[in-house]
């Protein structure tokens, strides 16, 4: 699994990140960011927080 920081087509908020599985399937896509540094910071935040995350079934 990996995180990819991508520059999309939007001119006002071109950067976003996505989580990609080892088989190439995209698992999650972020919101868009104005600055690449903001996208990178968000990735780092998710990576830190995900280690201790729990699953809550709301069904």
Domain total of the chain? 1
Report the mean per-residue pLDDT for the chain: 96
**Dist CA 59 CA 51 (whole Å):** 23
Q: Output the six-digit token pair for 44.
A: 């780092």
Q: What percentage of residues in the chain have a pLDDT greater than 70?
A: 100
Q: Output the six-digit token pair for 31.
A: 């919101």
Q: Is the pLDDT of residue 21 over 90?
A: yes
Of residues 45 and 51, more confidently modeled: 45
User: CA triplet 28, 58, 19: central angle to 5 degrees?
Assistant: 10
Q: Is the pLDDT of residue 31 over 90?
A: yes
pLDDT value at position 47? 94
3-state secondary structure of 55: coil
pLDDT band at residue 58 using 50, 70 and 90 as cut-offs: very high
pTM summary value: 0.85
The verdict on residue 54 lying in a domain is no
Residue numbers of the domain that contains 12: 2-48
The verdict on residue 27 lying in a domain is yes
């Amino acid at each position: 699994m990996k995180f990819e920081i991508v520059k999309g087509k939007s001119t006002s908020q071109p950067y976003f990140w996505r989580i990609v599985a080892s088989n190439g399937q995209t698992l999650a896509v972020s919101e868009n960011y104005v600055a690449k540094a903001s996208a990178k910071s968000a990735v780092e935040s998710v990576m830190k927080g995900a280690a201790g995350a729990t699953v809550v079934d709301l069904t």
